[in-house]
Structure 1
Amino acid sequence: MIERAPHHRWLIGDDGGLSHLYVRLPVEEVVARLGGTMAGFAPGTFHGPDRHTGGSGLSIGVAPLRGWTYIQDGGQLAVTGAVLPLSEGTRVVAQYALGIKGLDYFYWAEDGEIRFCFIAQEGYSAPVPEELRETMEAIRRLYPPSADPSTGPTFLLSERLTGFRLAEEELMAAPFLWGTVPDRGYEFAPCPDDAFPWPV
């Protein structure tokens, strides 16, 4: 039985946002796929590095989390074509939410292809993959039509695709590494196929 996800206010904030990705690969391989080197990363926490890492490019934080690498970034990766090379031979789940404007994005990429996505003010891609059909039906049942996806629905999708619920205590205790990777000028990743209005 799928239950309503809690509002991750600790992660999103009242007027802020979030941008993160789950990649089912070791941290070292994720950094390498993004063009970085582990030598350029420094220890830190979810809130940032313990010391200035320096360098130019995209600043990201990475941490191992239940067999996945969790990436915290400023949005340059979560809503762009970066999800495709990261997903080669594996799975990527990416979320972006700008709470002050209700702009929400969600991507599931698998083996170099976007399998499902939601784009703010456009809707979600169709047809809904079989793996997400039950979750999408639960979202319709559990949330009102006016609910922003990031208040719970997209977290239910992430739970289905990663197999676990993101917990504040676990994420805050995770051994983050912070550094920079090259800015490769990734373009915005569109939804494949036609978009259907949210909610389902």
Structure 2
Amino acid sequence: MITPPGDHAWFAASALAEAYSFIFVRGVTPERLVTRMGDRAEDFSWMTLDESIRTGDHRPEFVAVTTVGDWAFVAQHNSWLGAYDRFLAPLSAGTRLVSLYRLGIKGLEDFRWMEDGETRFGFWAQDGYSEDVPEELAETMREIDRGYGEREYDLYRGPGLVLIERLTGITLTPQLLEGPAYLSGAIPDLP
């Protein structure tokens, strides 16, 4: 059964909720992911996500990366990197990547599931969902459709987080955003 939208209501009050990118990459460490992004881990610092947000001063190239199980998790405030395919595709080389981007002021939400550089499924703010729903998400999408009916999708309040959970096994919680140390710093020029 799908997680009801109220179960993610805590996130709507988060400092990240109105403008963020979340990126999950399976099977890599934060240090290795920073290298994939084109930088050196030794040029980054460990800090809390809140410290990282303050230090990054709303720069889209400033990333905060931690480990969650078998996944590297990137959390960014006020960044569009979670919707930038030219950035995401190389990060997914040889593995799975799942991302969710939101810019509340414009009502934009983008979701990606990539495998080895190829988009398997996505939701694009102005275009809707991928035409073909992979079998792995078919039941989840039917549940989302039943649960949300004709209402406008608001991915950061539920469905996007449900899709992340289904594809990664990770439930986004306040403890995940507040607890672990994040390897943080500015990545070099974006592609």
The aligned runs of 1:36-185 (5 Å cut-off) are: 36-49=39-52, 58-73=61-76, 74-80=78-84, 81-144=86-149, 145-185=151-191
Tell me the amino acid that sits aligned with residue 39 of structure 2: G
Secondary structure of 1:47's counterpart equals: helix
Which moves more between the two structures, 142-151 or 19-28?
142-151
CA distance in 1 between counterparts of 2:135 and 2:51 reads 38
Contact 2:113 2:122 in 1 (8 A): yes
Gap change, CA 1:35 and 1:2, over 3 Å in 2: same
Describe the superposition over 1:109-165 as per-residue Cα deviations: whole angstroms up to 9, x where unpaired.
Answer: 111111111110211112100011111011111124224222211111101000121
Q: What letter matches 2:188 in structure 1?
A: P
Q: Distance in 2 between matches of 1:3 and 1:116?
A: 20
- What's the secondary structure of 1:88's corresponding residue? coil
In 2: Cα distance, 1:33 partner to 1:153 partner:
29
Q: In the alignment, is the contact (CA less than 8 A) between 1:22 and 1:70 conserved in 2?
A: yes
1:48/1:61 contact within 8 Å kept: no
- Structure 2 equivalent of residue 2 of structure 1: 2
Q: What secondary structure sits across from 1:100 in the alignment?
A: helix
Shift of 1:50: 9.8
Q: Tell whether the 8 Å contact from 1:61 to 1:178 is kept in structure 2 after alignment.
A: yes
Q: Distance in 2 between matches of 1:165 and 1:64?
A: 13
Task: In structure 2, list runs of 5 or more residues that go unmatched.
Answer: none
TM-score (norm 1): 0.82
Shift of 1:44: 1.0
Per mean C-alpha deviation after superposition, the further-off stretch among 5-14 and 135-144 is 5-14
Tell me the TM-score normalized by structure 2: 0.86
Q: Report % sequence identity.
A: 38
Which structure shows the higher helix fraction? 2
Which of 9, 22, 25 is the equivalent residue of 2:24? 22
Question: SS in structure 1 opposite 2:32?
Answer: helix
What is the root-mean-square deviation in Å for CA atoms of aligned residues?
2.3
Instruction: Give the stretch that moved more between structures: 129-138 or 69-78.
Output: 69-78
